[in-house]
A and B are shown apart, each in its own frame.
Chain A
Amino acid sequence: DVKVTQSSRYLVKRTGEKVFLECVQDMDHENMFWYRQDPGLGLRLIYFSYDVKMKEKGDIPEGYSVSREKKERFSLILESASTNQTSMYLCASSTFSVTEAFFGQGTRLTVV
């Protein structure tokens, strides 16, 4: 069974804090993705990566950065958290040919 694990289910952070969301997959997948999901807006792609140290901006990268130092791990970084980054964050991974994307359980982040 493919497993994508996100480090936290729930996080509460203060405005201005630096926030790290971690995602690990155990299937040797090339692609990894970070999305945020908000009511009425669906899943929006923040960043994705197709290889170690390689990253591509998604549709809403502003205010975020990512790191992929190892193939199995993809981190999302909020450099200075703001209240409008309160959301559900979902990590996904897939093979290069994208036959299926597998998701982590999500991290609900609240910025106060």
Chain B
Amino acid sequence: RKEVEQDPGPFNVPEGATVAFNCTYSNSASQSFFWYRQDCRKEPKLLMSVYSSGNEDGRFTAQLNRASQYISLLIRDSKLSDSATYLCVVTYYSSASKIIFGSGTRLSIRP
């Protein structure tokens, strides 16, 4: 079983739609959680951190459920520029901090 699992998509939604991504992780010792965004042929970049209390950044809302080992990302009022691959990221500490990426969910926004 993969340590971090995501629905690969692709999600193809119209501009203005609300879209939700989910992610599950297997290691209950996981400490930090993030969503990254990767544009085509570019490196991944941090979109937002995910906190237990849930957090919002403009049109983006991230939530964490530690009991279910589940992370979500909600994008409201989607824009064409939101088209990208969204990567769920989990870190945990064994002998050192380890950062594990999900395989990504591809989102395509159509006009």
CB of A92 closer than 8 Å to a CB of B: yes
Binary CB contact string for chain B from 37 to 59 against chain A (1 if under 8 A, 0 otherwise): 00000111110010000000000
CB distance from B37 to the nearest CB of A (A): 12
Q: Are B103 and A40 in contact (CB under 8 A)?
A: yes
Place the interface of chain B in its size category: 20 to 34
Task: Report how many A-B pairs have Cβ atoms within 8 Å.
Answer: 64
Whether B103 pairs with A94 at a CB distance below 8 angstroms is no
Q: In chain B, what residue has the closest Cβ to A92?
A: B99
Number of interface residues of A (CB under 8 A): 29
Tell me what chain A mostly uses at the interface: helix, strand, loop, or mixed.
strand
Does A100 contact B46, Cβ atoms closer than 8 Å?
yes
List A residues at the B interface (Cβ < 8 Å): 31, 33, 35, 40-45, 48-50, 54, 56, 58-59, 90, 92, 94, 96-101, 103-106
Name 12 interchain pairs, CB-CB below 8 A, sorted by A.
A31-B99, A40-B103, A42-B102, A42-B104, A43-B101, A44-B101, A45-B99, A45-B101, A50-B97, A56-B95, A99-B49, A104-B43
